[in-house]
């Protein structure tokens, strides 16, 4: 276990280091970053001052080392659009994204897991057909279209839920459904497929022959042994909800990290983009490590070394 953690930690450091190289290279791909600050009132003295202050008058390897030393201390400079440090803006926005991610994750689990199990148990029945239809429609439906349709139905026509923004529990309903619908369909299909393979296995047939109750067979034997692949997908989904809710947050004007990323791209805000990319990379690394650790809890036969 210790060797595994050390190996994963070193691999994570390498991935983060590679991400810093990508971020720095992209920030210099369009030329000298000082051009972002230039206006018709800028002078040569200001140009030289910016070069000295940010180290932009030095060779690229030296610039990278200066930038990396600051990034390690969470100092990415000043946001071009917000005129504030990126870590301050991200600190204000991450909670909104985390709350939305939690709501979408709960929706995906509540819809995907029971329907997947019931679809496998009732294979070939009307319930199975309905569950597979939900999965097909859910994975084929674009998220932005679903969000707009939900707004038109529940906000404009029925006037039951707010159209955008963050506030009480009603503000979370439509964004959480929009963000969680596609993952719910994916979890449903994975659960169904894994459960069908497990229910046809020899040890499940033996348990039935011994007279074990159907509930115990389904939830203790079949579902627990079928949860490895869906759990991997569900863990990656949690990271995706936190880092990739760009479309949903844009449609519902949600003040989170996804919408912040869009604003940073449109405004060529490299300091903000650099901070967000490294944050998203670290999030995926932590979630993947947590998934690997949970494997051992769900299935003791899996070795981590």
- Give the tens place of pLDDT for each residue, 1-54: 677 778 888 888 899 999 898 888 887 776 777 676 666 676 777 777 777 766
Position with higher pLDDT, 201 vs 112:
112
Per-residue pLDDT at 111 exceeds 60: yes
> What CATH code would you report for 86-298?
1.10.3720.10
pLDDT band at residue 299 using 50, 70 and 90 as cut-offs? low
pLDDT value of residue 215 = 76
Exposure string of 100-113, with b = 16+ CB inside 10 Å and e = fewer, is bbebbbebbbebbb
pLDDT of residue 213: 76
Where do the structural domains in the chain lie, given as residue ranges? 2-72, 86-298
pLDDT tens per residue across span 206-236: 777 777 777 777 777 677 777 777 777 777 7
Residue 58's pLDDT is what? 78
Q: Name the pTM for this structure.
A: 0.79
Cβ-Cβ contacts under 8 Å for 246 (sequence gap 6 or more): 258, 259, 261, 262
Which residue did the predictor score with more confidence, 183 or 1? Answer: 183
pLDDT of residue 39: 65
For the chain, percent of residues with pLDDT exceeding 90: 6
What is the phi/psi pair of residue 226, to 5°?
-95, 0
pLDDT value at 186 more than 80: yes
Q: Identify the burial level of 271 via C-beta atoms within 10 angstroms of its C-beta, where 0-12 means exposed, 13-18 middle and 19 or more buried.
A: buried
Report the C-alpha gap between 97 and 90 in whole angstroms: 10
Calpha distance 186→138 (Å, rounded): 8
Whole-number pLDDT of residue 246: 83
């Amino acid at each position: 276990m210790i060797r595994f953690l050390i190996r994963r930690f070193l691999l994570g450091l390498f991935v983060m280091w590679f991400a810093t190289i990508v971020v720095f290279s992209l920030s210099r791909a369009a030329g000298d970053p000082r051009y972002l600050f230039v206006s018709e009132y800028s002078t040569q003295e200001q140009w030289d001052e910016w070069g000295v202050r940010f180290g932009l008058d030095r060779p690229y390897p030296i610039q990278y080392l200066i930038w990396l030393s600051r990034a390690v201390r969470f100092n990415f400079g000043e946001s071009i659009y917000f005129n504030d440090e990126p870590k301050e803006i991200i600190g204000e926005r991450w909670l909104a994204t985390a709350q939305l991610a939690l709501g979408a994750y709960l929706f995906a689990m509540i819809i995907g897991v029971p329907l997947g199990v019931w679809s496998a148990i009732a294979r070939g029945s009307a319930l199975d057909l309905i569950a597979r239809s939900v999965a097909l429609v859910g994975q084929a439906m674009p998220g932005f279209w679903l969000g707009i349709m939900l707004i038109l139905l529940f906000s404009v026509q029925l006037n039951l839920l707010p159209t955008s923004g963050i506030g009480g529990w009603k503000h979370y309903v439509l964004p959480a459904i929009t963000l969680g619908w596609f993952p719910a369909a994916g979890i449903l299909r994975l659960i169904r497929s894994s459960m069908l393979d497990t229910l046809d296995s020899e040890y499940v047939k033996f348990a039935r022959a011994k007279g074990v109750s159907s509930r115990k067979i389904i939830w203790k034997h079949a579902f627990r042994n079928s949860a490895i692949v869906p759990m991997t997908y569900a863990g990656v989904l949690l990271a995706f909800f936190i880092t990739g809710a760009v479309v949903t947050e844009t449609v519902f004007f949600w003040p989170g990290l996804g919408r912040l990323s869009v604003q940073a791209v449109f405004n060529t805000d490299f300091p903000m983009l650099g901070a967000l990319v490294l944050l998203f990379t670290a999030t995926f690394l932590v979630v993947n490590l947590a998934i690997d650790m949970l494997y051992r809890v769900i299935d003791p036969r899996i070795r981590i070394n």
